[in-house]
Structure 1
Amino acid sequence: MLNMELDRFKPAYYEKLEGIGTDRIIDMVEKMNAEARAEGKELVLLCYEDVRVPGDWCHRTVFAEWWAEQTGELIEELYDPSEPKVKKPAAKKESKEPVKKVVETRKEEPGYEQLSLFGLAGI
Structure 2
Amino acid sequence: MSSLKPIEYKDAAPEVKAVYDDIKSTRGVPDVNNFWKFIAQHPPTLARTWDSLKDVMSPGALDPLVKELLYVAVSVTNNCGYCVASHTAAARRAGMTDEMFGELMAVVGMANETNRLAVGYRVPIDPAFE
Q: Same fold (TM over 0.5)?
A: no
- Bigger share in helix: 2
- State the TM-score, normalizing by the size of structure 2: 0.29
Q: State the TM-score, normalized to the length of structure 1.
A: 0.30
